[in-house]
């Protein structure tokens, strides 16, 4: 959980944190450890009068090729989405709740955008648009399937028996650790253009990290949409197989 600071107060509320770094590690660092790093950004939090602290470690992992993007960066970006598109989207649940469990999504017509963590170093996401439920994973591997862990998270959100569509989507380059960036790119596209089949969007991998950094560094940037590949699909871009399942 990010460190939340009440405005006008010196008190810092610190919860269980999961700072992910490197390509294979799944160790969780404590907030005490996070406090050893200098502050990079202090951004508005979701709660009234709260702020979200990003450290230089979050920044370095974001910009470091092959490093995993932290829960804190995911949370900061989702907060930006919800502030910009607040009349269109429901508030996402914090990604670090994934191992604990999610609450059912609201029964309304607003778009649902939810990042999911596997409790280690991998992020996926789900969206609900006009009643249709979608699931996206930028690293399916050789078998196009949803893991039992992720199915459990989806059942918590949508209920047993819900049908989930898994579109054919761009797969991240092996070793890039860009799953978190693909989650943010996909969910941002759905927030901005839910009726333009954003599941088919292709993104410029080489520009993803810098785009996230630039948008978090400069809150005045109006467009959050990630740079896209257009025209003929490059030969080095891999797409997953489309499939569906019932939870």
Q: How far apart are CA 81 and CA 66, in angstroms?
A: 25
Place of tokens 């901005």: 192
Question: pTM for the whole thing?
Answer: 0.84
Kindly give the pairing relationship between strand 50-55 and strand 4-6.
Answer: antiparallel
Q: How far apart are CA 206 and CA 45, in angstroms?
A: 29
Closest to 135 in 3D by CA, of 121, 160, 115, 118 = 115
Q: How far apart are CA 239 and CA 237, in angstroms?
A: 7
4-246: CATH topology is Adenoviral Proteinase; Chain (3.40.395)
Domain assignments of the chain as residue spans, ordered by start? 4-246
- 148: which 2 tokens? 């039992």
Query: How far, rounded to the nearest angstrom, does the alpha carbon of residue 120 sit from its chain's CA centroid?
Result: 14
**Predicted confidence pLDDT, tens digits, the chain (247 residues):** 444 444 333 333 333 333 333 333 333 344 555 568 899 999 988 888 889 999 999 999 999 999 999 999 999 999 999 999 988 899 999 999 999 999 999 988 899 999 999 988 899 999 999 999 999 999 987 677 899 999 999 999 999 999 999 999 999 999 999 999 999 999 999 999 877 776 689 999 999 999 999 999 998 888 999 999 988 888 999 999 999 999 9
Question: Contact at 8 Å (CB) between 229 and 203?
Answer: yes
Phi, psi of 191 (to 5 degrees): -70, -40
């Amino acid at each position: 959980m990010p460190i939340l600071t009440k405005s006008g107060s010196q008190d810092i509320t610190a919860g269980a944190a999961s700072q992910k770094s490197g390509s294979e590690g799944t160790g969780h660092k404590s907030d005490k450890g996070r406090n050893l790093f200098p502050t990079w950004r202090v951004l508005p939090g979701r709660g009234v009068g709260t702020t979200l602290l990003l450290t230089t470690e979050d920044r370095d992992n974001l910009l470091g090729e092959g490093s995993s993007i932290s829960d804190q960066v995911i949370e900061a970006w989702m907060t930006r989405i919800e502030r910009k598109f607040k009349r269109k989207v429901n508030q996402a649940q914090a990604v670090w709740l994934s191992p604990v469990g999610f609450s059912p999504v609201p029964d309304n017509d607003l778009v649902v955008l939810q990042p999911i963590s596997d409790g280690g170093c991998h992020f996926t996401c789900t969206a609900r648009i006009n009643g249709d439920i979608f699931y996206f994973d930028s690293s399916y591997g050789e078998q196009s399937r949803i893991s039992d862990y992720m199915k459990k998270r989806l059942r918590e959100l949508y209920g047993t028996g819900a049908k989930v569509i898994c579109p054919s989507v761009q797969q991240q380059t092996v070793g890039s650790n860009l799953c978190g960036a693909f989650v943010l790119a996909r969910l941002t596209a759905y927030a901005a253009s839910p009726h333009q089949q954003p599941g088919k969007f292709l993104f410029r991998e080489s520009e993803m990290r810098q785009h996230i950094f630039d948008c978090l560094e400069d809150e005045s940037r109006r467009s959050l949409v990630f740079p896209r590949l257009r025209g003929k699909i490059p030969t080095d871009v891999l797409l997953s197989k489309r499939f569906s399942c019932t939870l």
